[in-house]
Structure 1
Amino acid sequence: MTHVVVIGAGQAGAACVAKLRALGFEGQITLIGAENVLPYQRPPLSKKYLLGEMALERLFLRPESFYEEQNINLRLGTRVTAIDTVARKVITGAEELAYDHLVLATGAAPNRLPASIGGDLGGVYVVRDLADVDAMAPEFVEGRRVLIVGGGYIGLEAAAVAASKGLKVTLVEMSERILQRVAAPETSNYFRDLHAAHGVEVLENLGLKGLQGEGRVVCAELTDGTQLDVDFVIVGVGVNPNTALAESAGIALDNGIKTDALGRTDVEAVWSAGDCASFPYKAEQIRLESVPNAIDQAEVVAENIMGAEKPYVAKPWFWSDQYDVKLQIAGLNSGYDRIVSRDNGDGAKSFWYYQGETLLAVDAMNSARDYMVGKRLIEGGKSPSAEAVADMTIEIKDLMRL
């Protein structure tokens, strides 16, 4: 009987095994997860779950009964220590599992502050998994002082939760502006103003020199010499794909675990999907850190394990919730040279990224219709003129016909 082993019980791993059964795969399936909880969704961790607005059970992607009913061997609290691609075995401590197909859905891990600058002190947190958020949740008490290191989406979302709970929030970003790596200055300005309106002190072009304390952080020194008294610190300075298992097994890497358009690695019968995997996209090898990518890519891998020979065609989209603002992003903005704005009033705006005459991406803040139209245009390879997008006398839906 054919045995598919999936390493990583996050969004990609869970999507892959569910799709296999939905497609009628009758072989053996084993899903291995390092955490001791059922596969769950991560985005609400730094938003509704941390705010106390979502119960743990609502995080779970599927109830435990699903895995039993679908005859999926769910191995939680289990770490894979090695992969033997010649013998086609996965080693978990003293146990070996033979596989016919192996899917690496090992995700990514957050960057941490080095111990040399106090990163190992108590009260210093990252935001990645359930244990991280459960550990920091008791810190969110009104009036306390939190330092957030990093002005990307994770840092800004954590700042929004802290400010909403009445904490005194300082956010430091060593780049010239928040969101510099992922967004245009217009989007950065929008969210800087939003956070300032909620009392967050945003310090840009300023880094963290070190944290101080006896066992637990009490003070932070910034690169300009400023000393900040803090009660705790949240670090949001990006992630790196979990590639150690693949690398030790001799599987090729390229900005993650390198796959072809079908999701195959360079080793026979080994596939990869999700945050850890890179794949071909417009003559580049890219990696996307998003829930939609994890699900779609993993489902295509499941189809190809079943023999579909179906290329994965990425349709990049992302989102972020901060206060009462929902940011929705369609497309990838790499290479843009022009921004076009649409202002729908009451803080609802969208920014459209162009490279020459080609529409690349859209950032939409509380502008769901702008997002949906932009997404359809990008996926359809259509580019309305920048002048038409900027013309507020033209209905957003009419851009589809221009």
Structure 2
Amino acid sequence: MSSGSSFVIVGASLAGAKAAEALRGEGFDGRVVLIGDERERPYERPGLSKGYLLGKDERDKSFVHAESWYAEHDVELVLGNRVTGLDRAAHEVSFDSGERIGYTKLLLATGVSPRRLKVDGVKLDGIHYLRRIGHSDQLRDAIRAGGRVVVVGAGWIGLETAAAAREYGCEVTVIEPQETPLSAALGGEMGAFFASLHLRHGVDLRLGQSVSGFRGTDKVEAVLTEDGSEYAADVVVIGIGARPNTELAEQAGLAVDNGIAVDAAFRTDDTDVYAVGDVANIQNPFYGEHLRVEHWDNALNGGPVAAKSMLGQEVSYDHLPYFFTDQYDVGMEFSGWIGNGYDQLVTRGDVEKQEFHAFWLADRRVIAGMHINQWDDGIKPTQELIRSKKQVDAAKLADPNTPLSDVQA
């Protein structure tokens, strides 16, 4: 593409930054503008509920690139500015200040925002959401002195912040409306494993309960649940999921369905507009349907592919969903997708010792898998099983002495 072209990326995120990096790596010599509404340069988010929250990782470790990288690669980094308008006919985006920037190609990497709990008292001081690095700073300051922490939601953010709070010596209660933590992500069996992990570390798990409100004068003092219970709290963390930031796409008339709808090359229904990362609902060729994946790995790998697509290269993104977590003495990697259900769960190894693999099967085929503290094998053999789509012998799959390459039925 000619040097007269202007590529604009809305969203100074991991996906946006990796797309900018790939544009330069592929030899694009036109204008690259990377716009973010935060004042921080692009950073990675996993540490916000893990090592950075715990004070184990330095702030600089979170950033995607050194501060000097953007000028050295002629990437215009526009921070602290929110894009509020998209004029597809004029090929321009506009800021709330009224300033406009033209584009030849546009990439939307606008991410997600935490879902807000709508109950009485939710605006009291001491109630936290976790999405940005500033949120992690505030939460760390709030829990490092100990005290009573109530976590609303037993998803990944909720459980990771609960683990961090326990490591700081806080009394921790987790309130979750489902019967197990992580039920949507892992199903009931492995959700129960993570429940037992937190119980062993002293967390008070309140499952099957929903929050009805918060009590306090200026600062939160207690969390109220629909069954009439009340839990004292000095700090509250709300982690009840996220919603895709599709406002720009909707305003511009782009197709939106649980995120911005894109094909396998990250193209929207406008040939000059693309979307990537948490906000993108991608037509995944491997699954034959749209998937929107809110994880670090998707942003890391999707950004460069989107950049190549913007340059006119033939690409197809069929990446398997992947995520990881660190909680207490447990490290985990998961890959695959159980959104259409499964009919069998097979474990391999010692669950009690927290050293095992788990496999989700549908029609005797591995559709997802994870390992707990099995770093010698890692997740790659599991991904190969998923991609093979071959039926497996459950007994062989459960036998640690049978190589995963030899478990086919």
Same fold judged by TM-score > 0.5?
A: yes
Match for 2:305 among 300, 314, 318?
Answer: 300
- Please point out which of 359, 373, 385 is paired with 1:377: 385
Residue 366 of structure 2 aligns with which residue?
A: 359
Aligned residues: 400
Distance 1:56 1:370 in 2: 27
Q: How much has 1:295 moved relative to structure 2?
A: 2.2
| Equivalent residue for 1:192, pick from 192, 195, 202 | 195
| Residues 47 and 62, structure 2, Cα contact 8 Å, conserved in 1 | yes
Kept after mapping to 2: 8 A contact 1:350/1:370: no
- Within the candidate set 242, 245, 248, 1:242 is matched to 245
Query: What is the aligned partner in structure 1 of residue 64 from structure 2?
Result: 61
The one-letter code sitting in structure 2 at the alignment partner of 1:371 is I
Q: Which residue of 2 aligns with 1:350?
A: 357
Give the TM-score, by structure 1 length. 0.96
Residue 322 of structure 1 corresponds to 327
Query: Structure 2, unaligned stretches of length 5 or more?
Result: none
Contact kept? 2:244, 2:279, Cα under 8 Å: yes
Offset, 1:73: 0.3
Instruction: Provide the rounded CA distance (Å) in 2 between the counterparts of 1:382 and 1:75.
Output: 48
2:68 is paired with a residue whose SS is helix
How far does residue 142 in structure 1 lie from its aligned partner after superposition?
4.5
- Give the Cα separation in 1 of the matches to 2:371 and 2:268: 35
1:163 and 2:166 are equivalent in the alignment: yes
Percent identity (aligned) = 36
Pairing of 1:2-401 with structure 2 (within 5 A):
2-92=5-95, 93-114=97-118, 116-281=119-284, 282-334=287-339, 335-344=341-350, 346-368=353-375, 369=377, 371-396=379-404, 398-399=406-407
Q: Structure 1: which amino acid aligns with 2:240?
A: V
Letter paired with 2:301: D
Deviation (angstroms), 1:50: 0.7
Say what the alpha-carbon RMSD is for the aligned residues: 1.5
Using the alignment, how far apart are the partners of 2:295 and 2:160 within structure 1? 15
Task: State the 1:376 CA deviation.
Answer: 2.1
Deviation of 1:398 after TM superposition, in Å, equals 4.6
> Are 2:158 and 2:239, in contact at CA under 8 Å, matched by a contact in 1?
yes
Q: Name the stretch that deviates more: 315-324 or 378-387.
A: 378-387
Q: Distance in 1 between matches of 2:322 and 2:87?
A: 35
* Paired AA for residue 78 in structure 2: R
For the residue of structure 2 that corresponds to 1:35, the secondary structure is coil
48-57 or 182-191, larger mean C-alpha shift: 182-191
Contact 2:143 2:235 in 1 (8 A): no
Aligned equivalents of 2:314, 2:257: Cα separation in 1: 22
- Paired letter, 1:180: S
1:214-241 deviation per Cα after TM superposition (whole angstroms, max 9, x unaligned)? 1210111112111111101000000000
The separation in 1 between residues aligned to 2:13 and 2:144, in whole angstroms, is: 30
1:396 to partner: Cα distance:
4.3
User: Shift of residue 167 of structure 1?
Assistant: 0.2
C-alpha separation between the residues in 2 aligned to 1:330 and 1:144? 36
Whole-angstrom CA distance in 2 between matches of 1:180 and 1:394: 29
Q: Tell me which stretches of 4 or more aligned residues in structure 1 moved more than 6 Å.
A: none
Structure 1 runs not aligned, ≥5 long: none
Please state whether the residue corresponding to 1:250 is helix, strand or coil.
Answer: coil
Length-normalised TM-score, structure 2 = 0.95
